[in-house]
C-alpha cells in the first residue's frame, strides 16, 4: 500500500511538473503587445511594440520629446512610421525621428500642408531616400505577432483633420482603434464603410474634441477603455460632452494630461492598462519654464515667433499673475 501511495505521489509530482512546463511554454508563446500612448502634451504619439518590431503613430509637436522616448526604450529601428495628417501637433517631432532612426515604411495621407514643418519633413524623407506609402482602406500590415488594417481616409477631403489615417490594430483577440483627428464627416464615412471597427481600446479622436466623437462611433467601436491624448490647450479639449458620452457607455477613460504616458499591454486575450493619475501636477507647474516680455500679458514657449525679447520664468509665476498662454506657441 505504502509503495503505491509513493508511486501515486511521484506521478502527481510529475504531472504537476509537466503541467507547469507546459504552461510556461504557453505563456512564453503568447504574443505580448505594448501600446504606449506617449505624453506629448497637446498632440498625439503612440508607440506600438510586438515581438521586437516597432511602429510609431504620429510624433507630437515638440522636436525631441518622442525621439527621446524611443531612445530610452533603446529602439533603433521603426518598422512603420505613420503620420496620420500633417498638422504640427502630429508631425512636429517626426523630423528628428526620420533623421535619427532607420524606418521600414512611412505611411502618410495624400494631403499637404503649407507649413515649414511639413516642408522640412518632406526634405528629411527625401534625404533619407524613403518612399511615402499612401494609405489604402482595407490594406493589412503585419507588425511582429500583431497586425493592423487601414480604415481611413475613405475619401479625399479638403480638410487636414478629415484626411487623417485611421487604423485598427489587432493582437490575438484584442484590438485598438485610432482615428487621428478625423471629424464627424470622416468618422461617418468610416462607419458607413462597414469595416469591423469594434475594439477594446479607442484612442479618442482629435484630443477629445466634440467635432470627432459621436454616439454612432462609440456604438460601433463599443470599447471598454478610451485613451485621450491631450495637454494644456485653448480649444476646450477634451469636451465635457465627449467625456459624458464615454462614461454613459461605461467606458473607462484615461488621459495623458492626468496620467502622462499610458501603457496598454495586450497578452492576446485581454488588455491591461497602466495609468496612475499623477499627484504632482502642482510640482510640475512650479518647475515648468515659460517666457514672458516686460509688459506682455501672455506667456510663451522659448522659440515662439511672437517673442521679441524674453524673460525666463515659471508657469506657476505667470499663472499667479493672471497671464494667459500665447495662441501661437500654445505653451
Ligand atoms: Zn491634433
Ligand atoms: Zn489636426
State yes or no: pLDDT of 217 exceeds 50: yes
Pairing of strands 225-228, 201-203: parallel
If you measure from the C-alpha of residue 255 to the centroid of ligand 1, how many angstroms do you get, rounded to a whole number?
Answer: 15
- 242-298 pLDDT, tens digit per residue, is 999 999 999 999 999 999 999 999 999 999 999 887 654 444 445 678 899 988 889
Q: Determine the distance separating the centroid of ligand 1 and the alpha carbon of 61, expressed in angstroms.
A: 9
What cell numbers appear for 242 in the block? 465627449
Domain regions of the chain by residue span: 33-274, 281-325
Compute CA 18 distance to the chain's CA centroid, rounded to the nearest angstrom. 41
Cα of 139 to ligand 1 centre, how many Å?
A: 24
Å from CA of 37 to ligand 1 middle = 14
The Å distance, Cα 57 to ligand 2 centre, comes to 13
Q: In what order do the strands lie in the sheet with 146-152?
A: 140-143, 146-152, 166-171, 174-178, 201-203, 225-228, 252-255
Task: Give one word for 172, left, alpha or beta, with left for phi > 0 and alpha for psi -120 to 50.
Answer: left
pLDDT band at 328 (very low <50, low <70, confident <90, very high): confident
Mean pLDDT confidence for 206-228: 98
- Centre of ligand 2 from the C-alpha of residue 87, in Å: 5
Query: How far is Cα 204 from Cα 181, in angstroms, rounded to an integer?
Result: 9
Burial class of 70 by CB neighbour count within 10 A (0 to 12, 13 to 18, 19+): buried
Mean pLDDT of 53-80: 96
- Per-residue model confidence (pLDDT) at position 55: 98
Q: Which of 280, 210, 288, 198 is nearest to 244 (CA)?
A: 210
Q: What is the pLDDT of residue 25?
A: 46
CA distances from 60 to 68, 166, 241, 305 (A): 12, 17, 25, 19
What is the 310 CA–ligand 2 centroid distance (Å)? 29
Distance 215 CA to ligand 2 centre (A): 21
Among all ligands shown, which has an atom nearest to the Cα of 115?
2
Q: Hey, which bits of 256-319 come out as E strands?
A: 262-266, 271-274, 289-292, 298-299, 311-314
Q: CA-based diameter of the chain, in Å?
A: 97
**Residue with the larger pLDDT of the pair 311 and 198:** 198
Residue range 163-172, pLDDT digits in tens:
999 999 999 9
Mean pLDDT to the nearest integer, 68-84: 96
Cell numbers placing 218: 462609440
Q: For the chain, give the mean pLDDT.
A: 90
Contacts of 296 (CB under 8 A, 6+ apart): 323
CA 101 / ligand 1 centre spacing (Å) = 23
Residue 133 phi, psi (nearest 5): -95, 130
Output the CA 161–ligand 2 centroid distance in Å: 5
Q: How far apart are CA 231 and CA 238, in angstroms?
A: 9
Ligand 2 centroid to residue 3 C-alpha, Å: 75
Ligand number with the minimum distance to the CA of 42: 1
CATH superfamily entry for domain 33-274: Ribonuclease Z/Hydroxyacylglutathione hydrolase-like (3.60.15.10)
Nearest ligand to the C-alpha of residue 89?
1
The pLDDT assigned to 18 comes to 55
Ligand 2 centroid from CA 176, angstroms? 20
- Distance CA(243)–CA(34), nearest Å, equals 25
Pick the ligand that lies closest to the CA of residue 160. Answer: 2
Q: Which distant-in-sequence residues (6+ apart) come within 8 Å of 273 by Cβ?
A: 201, 225, 227, 252, 254, 262, 263, 264, 265
pLDDT of residue 282: 43
Tell me which residue has cell 493619475: 277
Q: Which bound ligand lies closest to the C-alpha atom of 165?
A: 2
Residue 16: its pLDDT value, please? 57
Copy the grid coordinates of residue 300: 510663451
CA of 173 to the centre of ligand 1 (A): 29
User: Distance between CA 154 and CA 193 in Å, rounded?
Assistant: 8
pLDDT tens digits for 304-327? 888 888 898 888 888 888 888 888
Task: Give dist(CA 71, CA 145) in Å, integer.
Answer: 23
**88 CA distance to ligand 1 middle (Å):** 8
Percentage of the chain exceeding pLDDT 90: 73
Ligand nearest to the CA of 161: 2
CA of 21 to the centre of ligand 2 (A): 50
**Span 1-58, pLDDT tens digits:** 555 666 666 666 666 555 555 554 444 445 899 999 999 999 999 999 999 999 999 9
Residues 230 and 77: their CA atoms lie apart, in Å, by 27
User: What one-character-per-residue DSSP string does 130-186 give?
Assistant: PPEEPP-TT-EEEETTEEEEEEE--S--SSTGGG--EEEEEETTEEEEE-TT--HHH
Would the pLDDT of 60 be above 60? yes
The number of angstroms, rounded, from the C-alpha of 289 to the middle of its chain's C-alpha atoms is 25
Amino acid at each position: 500500500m505504502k509503495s503505491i501511495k509513493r508511486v501515486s505521489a511521484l506521478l502527481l509530482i510529475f504531472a504537476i511538473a509537466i503541467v507547469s512546463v507546459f504552461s510556461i511554454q504557453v505563456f512564453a508563446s503568447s504574443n505580448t503587445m505594448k501600446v504606449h500612448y506617449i505624453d506629448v502634451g497637446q498632440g498625439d504619439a503612440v508607440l506600438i511594440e510586438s515581438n521586437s518590431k516597432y511602429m510609431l503613430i504620429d510624433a507630437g509637436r515638440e522636436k525631441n520629446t518622442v525621439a527621446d522616448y524611443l531612445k530610452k526604450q533603446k529602439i533603433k529601428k521603426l518598422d512603420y512610421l505613420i503620420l496620420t495628417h500633417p498638422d504640427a501637433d502630429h508631425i512636429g517631432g517626426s523630423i528628428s525621428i526620420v533623421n535619427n532612426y532607420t524606418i521600414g515604411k512611412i505611411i502618410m495621407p495624400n494631403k499637404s500642408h503649407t507649413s515649414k514643418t511639413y516642408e522640412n519633413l518632406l526634405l528629411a524623407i527625401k534625404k533619407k531616400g524613403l518612399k511615402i506609402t499612401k494609405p489604402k482602406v482595407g490594406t493589412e500590415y503585419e507588425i511582429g505577432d500583431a497586425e493592423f488594417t487601414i480604415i481611413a481616409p475613405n475619401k479625399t477631403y479638403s480638410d487636414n483633420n478629415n484626411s487623417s489615417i485611421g487604423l485598427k490594430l489587432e493582437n490575438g483577440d484584442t484590438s485598438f482603434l485610432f482615428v487621428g483627428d478625423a471629424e464627424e464627416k470622416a468618422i461617418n464615412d468610416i462607419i458607413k464603410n462597414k469595416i469591423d471597427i469594434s475594439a477594446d481600446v479607442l484612442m479618442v479622436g482629435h484630443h477629445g474634441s466634440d467635432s470627432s466623437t459621436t454616439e454612432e462611433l462609440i456604438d460601433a467601436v463599443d470599447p471598454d477603455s478610451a485613451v485621450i491624448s491631450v495637454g494644456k490647450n485653448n480649444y476646450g479639449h477634451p469636451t465635457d460632452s465627449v467625456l459624458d458620452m464615454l462614461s454613459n457607455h461605461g467606458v473607462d477613460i484615461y488621459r495623458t494630461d492626468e496620467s502622462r504616458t499610458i501603457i496598454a499591454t495586450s497578452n492576446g486575450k485581454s488588455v491591461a492598462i497602466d495609468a496612475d493619475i499623477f499627484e504632482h501636477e502642482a510640482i510640475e507647474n512650479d518647475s515648468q519654464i515659460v517666457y514672458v516680455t516686460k509688459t506682455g500679458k501672455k506667456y510663451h514657449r522659448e522659440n515662439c515667433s511672437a517673442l521679441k525679447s524674453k524673460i525666463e520664468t515659471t508657469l506657476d509665476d505667470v499663472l499667479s499673475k493672471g497671464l494667459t498662454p500665447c495662441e501661437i506657441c500654445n505653451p
